[in-house]
Structure 1
Amino acid sequence: MARNVARAINPPSHPGSYNRSFLSASPLAEAAIARDLADYAGAVITDDEEEEESDSSTVRPINNGESLHSLAGSYRRPSFIASTSRGTVVPHHLEPERLSHREREQIFEEERRLLSDNHIIRTDHAPDASAGLQHKISGLFSSRKGSVSASDASSGIHGDQRNRTAVTETTSLLGAENHRAVEEEIDRKWEEAVVAGLIQTSWRREAQVIGTYAAPLMLTFVLQYSLTVSSVFAIGRLGTKELGAVSLASMTANITGYAVYQGLATSLDTLCAQAYGSGKKKLVGLQLQRMVYFLWLSTIPIALTWFFADHILLKIIPDREVAVLAGQYLKIVLLGTPGYACFESGKRYVQAQGLFSASLYVLIFCAPLNALMNWLFVWKFEWGYIGAPIAVAITDTLLPICLFLYVYFVAGSECWNGFTWRALHNWGPMIRLALPGLMMIEAECLAFEILTLASSYLGTGPLAAQSILSTVSSLTFQIPFPLSIAGSTRIANLIGATLVGAAKTSAKVSMSGAVIVGVFNMILLSALRSYIPRLFTSDEEVVGLVAQVLPLCAAFQLFDALAANCNGIFRGLGRQEIGGYVQLFCYYAVAMPISFGTTFGLGWGLPGLWSGVAIALGLVSLIESIFLSQVDWQRSVDEAITRNAMA
């Protein structure tokens, strides 16, 4: 989540170095990394690390000052793990990121495809995706030495191609010089085409790219949220009080625990990425250790809060039995908090290296296992209510273990150099960077969780119904939000290449996708309003309440999707603060007063709670759409040019 520019750290020793300069928006992070680098310089560097840094210099340079219009200019990785079930409010800033070798290949391939779409280069033979970068770039130019394609001749920008040695299907690409020559030639064609205004895109191309980005993200988000859904499913049929208690316990855990871990760990989005960008990869492991120790220390007040949660909730919640059950849930889930803290830190560790698939693979294994354990413990072993929190605690412990196995056996271990006492020093900058993230995550989390607390004053039935409604609405949100991330990624990359027209086309495609998704969710919830609640509970009162409010939830699905997509476009433009503050205003200044006024003042009950949310989301989508129609796209391009020039 995060962005801006400052001074370069440890600039590359030569233009082709993989250790490109890394721009930072945070003087705190800059100072912290500089201090770590000073310590690092005195440490013993292994032969493997020296070889690794030497080898890295052969990687194609991107955004190093030579390629001012590269797609990497404002690069955003097409992946992100939601901080909470509705991760849209937080207006924090992305730092420029160091690219992994795989990401560089992806950017190179996107440039090649756009050149081909615009008939600037030829692709006589379709590249084999499994053959690697060297095979992908074969066949890009004419197969006859010195020949020029019709498109080259008509473009007027490739006249000197006749004087160059053409790369053909029969040309050996095994040598580094030929490999580099082809890359430099495509770089040259790309730069000339962008400057000449020849690069255009199509709706089909943008739909293909955004769809490719969004599909794995949707799977990741649904799997992650299924960790919560499984408990609600398993406990729902035990009774109304149990269903209400798990909702109350989840809300308390989010506000007082999980949001704290997630917010504090956001500082690693800057620190790990900058440590990786410094070229001294072992510093990434150092930052990971610091954060794990810090989060474990933070677990002490969290543990005290959860252990005595039943006594605290009894003073807030009118139903004593529900408060006691919620406290019991939190006592058991507490056992998994050290593992959850490790996983939140570990996610940033692998993400800084561009290994976003690691979290997906871990969730592909752990999410179904979590669902299975919920069924086994609650129903098969007949442990009842306590079976669900036991499954959650085990899952939270397994998540970092599985991530460790991925790093050890698959990828990511090069940034780890063992445990060190240095991890107990230089905590100040990390904590100062973590506190703003904590505040923003908490603000985001409270905006929706507070409705659950309010529903407890309506009775056990409405509390149970609120649990189902919030679960369903959050689950449907896991589709438009990843789509907005995919759109944000594509728009930011096109802005970095100064392709304003293409970026606007991508934004239109993303907006159209949001409309389709929103309408789909609306139809789905409306058509199944009588069936969905029965998946969670057999209590007729709760089923009736959910069926009554679901049409209202269905009505704002379009607004929800549009609001998420508008925020994605703002993030791509580097203007995310607009969307962040619009949402904070609408949720707290509009949604909360309306929800409480209609629920308790007018006596609307549970529909009143959701009416405020519906109005706020409609207002968010309207205001942000107006902002987008007036936003200065050229400003974002100018900022990208400045970044590239400084890099």
Structure 2
Amino acid sequence: MPMDTPLLENSGNSVNGEEEKAVQWAVKSFGVESKKLWRLAGPAILTSLCQYSLGALTQTFIGQIDDLALAAFSVENSVIAGLAFGVMLGMGSALETLCGQAYGAGQMRMLGVYMQRSWVILFTTALLMLPFYVWSPPILKLFGETSQISNAAGKFALWMIPQLFAYAMNFPIQKFLQAQGKVLVMLWVSVGVLVLHTIFSWFLILKLGWGLSGAAITLNTSWWLIVIAQLLYIFITKSDGAWSGFTWLAFMDLFGFVKLSLASAVMLCLEFWYLMILVVMTGRLENPLIPVDAISICMNINGWDAMIAIGFNAAISVRVSNELGAGDFKAARFSVWVVSITSVAIGVVVMIVVLSTRDFFPYLFTSSTAVANETTRLAALLGVTVILNSLQPVLSGVAVGAGWQSLVAYINIGCYYVFGLPAGIILGFLLHFGVEGIWSGMIAGIVLQTAILIIVTSITNWKKEAEEAESRVRKWGGSIAQDQ
């Protein structure tokens, strides 16, 4: 018996040693993947913040002129340009799947071909969207805007048509660069343009007093400077072989490409517009002025927080598509776990900050005690939305990286517009819970959508996804490009 004791002890020590090694391996692997994630997400977040700030800074300068100019700029920027931004971003997001998987598979030349195909599709889409700019006054009046604001915003929309075509060029370029991990290029370009934009906005809008025409000049110029600077980088460096010049391959296999682009646009636009509807619905309440002001403050904070989520969305779509393209399904699956844990942790921190400062932060945006009190009352719902929005865009990024856009589009329609929106209407209007009821119902839609995406991600056969990624690259020209 005494002889057995050391054996038992050694056995126990062996088990404990193996567990300790497993924990050390997990921690080390998490750290390695986190570095890869932040190398992509950090610059992507800062790039999003810089580009988001172009419109925000211009709006600040316009706000110092007069109320009508501010209203015209805000309406055009949020409704007309907001619609174009959502559609173009969504259509361009198809490249996150295709470029990412082609890069992972080592089909570098196909990245340039895919980008050119996306340009063809997005320029066509921009032409189809021109009527929204040309006939924006009657469209805005249909949404309930006054004739004065609609006419002023419509005139400004005509001046902003060059921005629409800059979107058509910019988003494919960004997805092309993101897939290769060249996010620092995008960041430095965005920072440089933001500095110039700030100087010239002040000079043209305030110093020379050009108002909305000055705003149009600076915004259009800034977006095209971003496009031109990124293109120069691609043309000069050849982007490590990903750019080999213009080719007629850009016009091949467009049907499948359009199908994936439309699915991406529907998926992202349904998400992009969902919380925007919250502001519109709140405006339908009795005595809506204070609730609308309060919800606008909350959405402003949520918008800045969304820039972090967009960075993680871009990072995980690149990581998943790269690993699936390379056939490493285990690495793709592990990337999903790492980015989910990281993003939720950041969401918890932001939620704590919102809740702990809810009596103070409203006064950063308003001098009205009534609006500040209403905003404080809504802070709990804002906190819940912030933490949900820390995970939901990540799961959408996984979907883009894996090429599930069509599936997620159907999930979004069901969860957001069949369940969440009616729930908000019932709680807010029929049961008279007001803005809290509307927002709670719409949060329920986000909860349901997030839960379904968690289940879909959990039961996914990642080995099969890697095989489909290889098939997709081969189907849409990988083999053709390789042979030429």
* Fold match by TM threshold 0.5: yes
CA RMSD of aligned residues (A): 4.6
Structure 2 residue 162 is matched with structure 1 residue 335: yes
User: Equivalent residue for 2:391?
Assistant: 562
Residues 397 and 539 of structure 1: is their aligned pair in 2 closer, same or farther, counting only changes over 3 Å? farther
Task: Select 1:221's aligned residue among 16, 36, 48.
Answer: 48
Which residue in 2 is equivalent to 1:120? none
Q: Give the aligned partner of residue 403 of structure 1.
A: 230
The question of whether the paired residues in 1 share the 8 Å contact of 2:317 and 2:399 is answered with yes
Q: CA deviation at 1:593?
A: 1.4
TM-score (norm 2): 0.72
The corresponding residue for 2:311 is: 482
Look up the match of 1:514. Answer: 343
Which of these two proteins has the greater Rg computed from alpha carbons? 1
Q: Is the 8 A contact 2:415 2:445 kept in 1?
A: yes
Cα deviation code 1:72-93 (max 9, x no counterpart): xxxxxxxxxxxxxxxxxxxxxx
Offset at residue 486 of structure 1 (A): 4.7
Q: How does 1:192-211 map to 2 (within 5 A)?
A: 201-211=25-35
- TM value normalised by structure 1: 0.56
Distance in 2 between residues matched to 1:543 and 1:371, nearest whole Å: 30
Instruction: Provide the residue aligned with 2:186 in structure 1.
Output: 359
Deviations 1:234-293 (A, max 9, x none): 455667776665443233235642233334434555676788879683x75565455435
Retained in 2: the 8 A contact 1:566–1:625? yes
Q: Whole-Å Cα distance in 1 between the matches of residues 444 and 160 of structure 2? A: 35
Q: May I ask how many residue pairs the two structures share in their alignment?
A: 446
Q: Which residue of 2 aligns with 1:636?
A: 462
TM-superposed CA distance for 1:400, in Å, is: 0.9
C-alpha distance in structure 1 between counterparts of 2:231 and 2:164, whole Å: 17
Partners of 2:91 and 2:451 in 1: CA distance: 32
Q: Is the 8 A contact 1:595 1:613 kept in 2?
A: yes
**Correspondence for 1:615:** 444
C-alpha separation in 2, matches of 1:387 and 1:605: 40
1:240/1:464 contact within 8 Å kept: no
Alpha-carbon distance in structure 2 between the residues aligned to 1:487 and 1:293: 26
Is 1:525 equivalent to 2:354 in the alignment?
A: yes
Q: Does 1:471 align with 2:326?
A: no
Q: In the TM superposition, what whole-angstrom CA distance separates every residue of 1:71-123 from its partner, at most 9, and x where no partner exists?
A: xxxxxxxxxxxxxxxxxxxxxxxxxxxxxxxxxxxxxxxxxxxxxxxxxxxxx
Any idea what SS the aligned residue of 2:272 has? helix
The letter of the residue matching 1:552 is L
**In the TM superposition, what are the counterparts of 1:365-380 in structure 2 within 5 Å?**
365-380=192-207
Distance in 1 of aligned mates of 2:248 and 2:321: 39
8 A Cα contact 2:96 2:400, kept in partner: no
The percentage of aligned residue pairs carrying the same residue is 25
Deviation at 1:529, TM superposition (A): 3.9
Q: Which residue of 2 aligns with 1:392?
A: 219
Report deviation, 1:398.
1.4
What are the residue-to-residue correspondences of 1:122-521 with 2, within 5 Å? 201-214=25-38, 215-235=42-62, 245-254=72-81, 256-268=83-95, 281=109, 285=112, 288-289=115-116, 291-351=118-178, 355-384=182-211, 387-412=214-239, 430-457=257-284, 463=292, 465-483=294-312, 486=315, 497=328, 499=330, 509-521=338-350
1:518 offset after TM fit, Å? 1.6
Q: Secondary structure at the match of 1:201?
A: helix
Q: 1:376 and 1:261, CA in 2 relative to 1: closer, same or farther beyond 3 A?
A: same
Which AA in structure 1 matches 2:131? L
Q: Distance in 2 between matches of 1:212 and 1:425?
A: 34
Aligned residue for 1:302, secondary structure, equals helix
Return the letter of the residue paired with 2:462: S
Unaligned runs of 5+ in 2: 1-20, 475-484
Q: Is contact 1:291-1:345 (8 Å) kept?
A: yes
- Write the distance in 2 (CA, Å) between the matches of 1:413 and 1:371: 33
